[in-house]
Chains A and B, each alone.
Chain A
Amino acid sequence: MLNEDDIDTEYLNKKAYRLKASTVTDAVQTYIKTRGKEKPEYLLNWMELTEKLGEYGDE
């Protein structure tokens, strides 16, 4: 199961900024805020995260 604790957001944000991929920060934060309360299965959580990454990646 993928919990918000599984993602080291400090490391993620720092590295994403350095590599000019800061949209990942917003995507993951949005994911964490909205994640799986109604659909707790990890597969669906992954799908949601990937969707968020896709949305932010398009900007």
Chain B
Amino acid sequence: MEITKKELQLFRAITLTNPETVSELAQTTSTSLSYTSTTLKKLEKKGFITQQRKNREKKPRIADTLHASTLRTLILDTPHLNHDILTNKGTTILTTITCQNIRTTEELLEASGASYRTLWSYMDKVRGMGIIQRNETITIAPRHEKITKFIEANQRYIHQVEATKKADDALVKWGCLDTYIFETAKTLSLQPTGISAFKDYGALFLTPRNLYTNTQEKLRLEDHIINHVLSEDKQNTLPLLIT
């Protein structure tokens, strides 16, 4: 889920000016009231803001979500950064770099789904700003770790919202771009993965919750082994194997 430039402009204005009403925000940003209201609804749906009714008007405020608070912190701590790099296709490109080991521009092109022209222009800009660095892989520079934190939190939020639609007790364990892995106590008609799929290879583990992936692609044993590792918590105890 990408954030648009207009949405970011309003989020930034809410962060910096703490407006009392939507009308005040519209005035501050020189935007029409109806356009401001529509954009705020989109920001609300994306978990960035909430709107509290105050008499006959609404007061927009930053939501208590991790991705909203990390974006707020990023805006406050980096006033001279052009935050537009976080918008539109930039969100997807940065997300790809964050969740995958990408070695070449060709790999990034394929993984992000961006057009060559968009990617070339974007990479040129962010490299010039010192945000992206290229060693063995293309990464966000460590000094811009707040960008990484926002990108990760934003992605996690999107996956959690999607997973909750499939099972109300869903807990996302890992995700990258359009794919995520989640656990639930429910039995769903989705593809089991990780340890929940090992039974298909002759090993039935007793686990309190099932692990699923949203991908439609038929996974192989190797994918399930990788997904098992990706979904592991550090404190996980070894599940019981049924003999």
Query: A residues engaging B (CB < 8 A)?
Result: 1-2, 6-8, 11-12, 15-21, 23-24, 27-28, 42-43, 46-47, 49-51, 53-54, 56-58
Contact = CB atoms under 8 A, between A and B. Distances in A.
10 contacts: A2-B202, A7-B225, A12-B226, A16-B226, A19-B101, A19-B226, A28-B225, A46-B202, A47-B241, A49-B225
Nearest to A28: B225
Contacts, number: 78
Given A12-B226, A23-B229, A1 B101 contact: no
Nearest to A45: B203
B221 interface: yes
Contacts of B230: 19, 21
A41 to B, nearest CB: 9
Dominant SS at the A interface?
Answer: helix
Nearest to A11: B222
A47 B198 CA distance: 11
Nearest to B107: A18
Nearest to B222: A12
